[in-house]
């Protein structure tokens, strides 16, 4: 039996003592699924339940959910955070596929490091096998994450280009050089993500990630690290702090960095200037950028 709850904006399917979420209002932005509905435990999110929900930004699922069906949250363009149960849960294929803005996949009782790296594994690595609530965040899980990252970095930048040409995604239109830079940006994004959340990160791998970012920073032949920060993370100052710490941004390329930031990134501009403690001349330059 199907029932629509107007207050929640959710459609349920009830079967005996259990219920499943099968649909919701298309304009929902934040979704909190209750643990039970009409006395029935909510145990599942059905296949394609939220496929293509363009305004959905946050999802909270109860501990009662034991299965999330195929493509349940696929192509939710604005989806940034999801809270999952820490108990056993079966995930269908492509549950979070094409959720490019996914930043945190929280598992109750686990750290923010786990939430950030799990989201990165799904949205950047496209490695769904990391969706294991029982082991996510453990030492073994982190080691596997790092091994996957190393494998990604070892791949040639044009890996998969031939397949992309044959059956590329409709919203991606790259020539060969653009594809190379797209790949480098993904690699740089993963390097920065891991360095920002360095729990149990080995010194050896940390050094390799840092070197990759320096080789793809502002002023290099490929500026993938810088481009990824500006277009993918805007005014998230942690990324700029990281680039400064790794000497990807220095006094030598500061002016280029400021010029590369649009008016939408005034906070990042001010942060860079403050960190480098610039002279009045630099302040005048900054003032000119804001005109």
The tens digit of pLDDT for each residue in 7-31 reads 999 999 999 999 999 999 999 999 9
Q: Span 161-175, mean pLDDT?
A: 69
Residues 131 and 145 grouped into a single domain: no
| pLDDT reported for residue 281 | 46
Residues 228 and 147 grouped into a single domain: yes
Q: Which two tokens stand for residue 270?
A: 């001010």
- Give buried/exposed letters for 194-221 (b at 16+ CB in 10 A, else e): bbebeeebeeebeeebbebbeebbbeee
Beta bridge partners of 155: none
d(C-alpha 85, C-alpha 109), whole Å: 9
CATH code, domain carrying 117: 3.80.10.10
- With 80 as the cut, is the pLDDT of residue 251 above it? yes
Residues 113 and 143 grouped into a single domain: no
Number of domains in the chain: 2
The tens digit of pLDDT for each residue in 213-250 reads 999 999 999 999 999 999 999 889 999 999 999 999 99
129 DSSP assignment = G
Residues 20 and 150 grouped into a single domain: no
81, 116, 136 - which closes a domain: 136
The tens digit of pLDDT for each residue in 122-163 reads 999 999 999 999 999 999 999 999 999 999 999 999 998 887
Residues 181 and 225 grouped into a single domain: yes
- What percent of the chain lies above the pLDDT cut of 70? 93
Residues 106 and 23 grouped into a single domain: yes
On whether the CB atoms of residues 141 and 130 are closer than 8 A, the answer is yes
Range of the domain at 114: 1-136
136, 151, 168 - which closes a domain: 136
| pLDDT reported for residue 135 | 94
119, 136, 153 - which closes a domain: 136
| pLDDT reported for residue 284 | 53
């Amino acid at each position: 039996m199907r029932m629509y709850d107007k207050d929640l904006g959710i459609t349920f399917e009830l079967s005996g003592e259990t219920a499943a979420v099968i649909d919701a209002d298309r304009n929902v932005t934040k979704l909190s699924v209750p643990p039970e509905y009409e006395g029935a435990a909510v145990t599942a999110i059905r296949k394609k339940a939220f496929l293509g929900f363009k305004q959905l930004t946050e999802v909270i699922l109860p501990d009662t959910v034991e299965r999330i069906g195929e493509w349940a949250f696929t192509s939710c363009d604005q989806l940034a955070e999801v809270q999952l149960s820490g108990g056993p849960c079966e995930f269908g294929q492509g549950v979070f596929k094409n959720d490019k803005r996914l930043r945190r996949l929280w598992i109750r009782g686990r750290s923010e490091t786990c939430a950030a790296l799990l989201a990165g594994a799904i949205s950047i690595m496209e490695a769904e096998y990391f969706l294991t609530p029982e082991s996510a965040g453990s030492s073994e899980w982190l080691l596997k994450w790092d091994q996957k990252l190393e494998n990604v970095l070892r791949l040639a930048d044009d890996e998969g280009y031939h397949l992309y040409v044959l059956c590329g995604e409709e919203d991606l239109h790259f020539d060969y050089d653009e594809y190379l830079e797209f790949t480098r940006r993904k690699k740089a994004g993963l390097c920065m993500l891991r360095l920002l959340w360095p729990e149990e990160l080995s010194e050896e791998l940390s050094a390799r990630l840092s070197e990759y970012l320096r080789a793809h920073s502002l002023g290099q032949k490929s500026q993938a690290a810088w481009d990824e920060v500006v277009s993918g993370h805007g005014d998230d100052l942690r990324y700029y702090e990281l680039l400064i710490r790794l000497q990807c941004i220095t006094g030598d390329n500061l002016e280029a960095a400021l010029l590369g930031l649009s008016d939408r990134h005034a906070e990042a501009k001010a942060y860079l200037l403050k960190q480098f403690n610039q002279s009045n001349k630099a302040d005048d330059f900054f003032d000119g950028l804001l005109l």
